[in-house]
Amino acid sequence: MLIERHNTILELARQMGRVSVDDLAKRFNVSPQTIRKDLNELCERRLLARTHGGALLSSGIENVGYEARRIISSKEKADIGASAAALIPDNASIFINIGTTTEAVAQALLQHRGLMVITNNINVASLMRGYSQIEVVIAGGVLRHADGGIVGEAAVDFMRQFKVDFAVIGASAVDSDGSLLDYDYREVKVTQTIMDNARHVVLVADSTKFERTAPVRVGHLSQINTFVTDRCPSPAFAKVAAEAKVNMIETLAHEDQ
């Protein structure tokens, strides 16, 4: 039976996406060693997945809540957004799909001029609505209340009408073999259509995506032109990127130079 502290730790992980040893030790007024033991037990039950200094929700079939995803690695996502936006010139046409990291790219694009942005992300459309130098085209389809994503066959058909300069896409998880993964097959169909109808595909994902898994295959790294992340902790993934001639940009590596 899980002790009460374990239940609270799990609830915190569901709310925030991840938990840290130091924060939990302070919250429960116990030693870090006690928390590490708790986390190890929860990981043995496959309820959490261990990370450096803490743990994260390990569900392979259900995504972390939208607000929690916005909090996770928020600085890293802002840096990724700025680096990805720097790749895109003024007067370009762009797909932007669902995700908190793609929203960081949209934020960084607000000072660009002459953009045409086609999106199935209500949050991106709302963010760009007040900028007259950006034309925003929003897909029709089924609105996913959890995160403002528009999915389904109508969204797929809508995206097929366009052929754009750039696609900015996210993924819920990336595998060491180069697989790009997500949770909702309806969202995946839209993303695949976006990838098929862009001249240059930019994948944006922070390093926590290497620690997660998801059940639906979006595609493979070889279908990507540029991958922007804070860091790539997987040598196997880096090798796949090199073999596929993917331009990989690590924002933390740039900061260290």
Is residue 43 within 8 A of residue 55, CB to CB? The reply is: yes
Assigned token pair, 240: 């796949």
pTM, full prediction: 0.77
Mean of the per-residue pLDDT values of the chain: 89
Ordered by where they begin, the domains of the chain are 4-58 (1.10.10.10), 67-256 (3.40.50.1360)
Nearest to 90 by CA among 62, 114, 66, 121: 114
pLDDT reading at 120 higher than 80: yes
The single-letter code of the amino acid at 12 is: L
Q: pLDDT for 141-190, tens place per residue?
A: 999 887 889 999 999 999 999 999 999 999 999 999 999 999 889 999 99
Beta bridge partners of 55: 19, 50
Q: pLDDT for 27-73, tens place per residue?
A: 999 999 999 999 998 888 777 888 889 988 765 544 555 555 556 66
How high is the pLDDT of residue 145? 84
Percent of the chain with pLDDT over 70: 91
- CA dist 226 → 87, 120, 203, 211, 235 (Å): 9, 21, 6, 21, 17
For residue 187, what are the contacts with CB-CB under 8 A and spacing of at least 6?
97, 98, 144, 149, 151
Assigned token pair, 186: 């309806």
Q: Name the DSSP letter for residue 112.
A: -
How high is the pLDDT of residue 2? 56
How high is the pLDDT of residue 74? 76
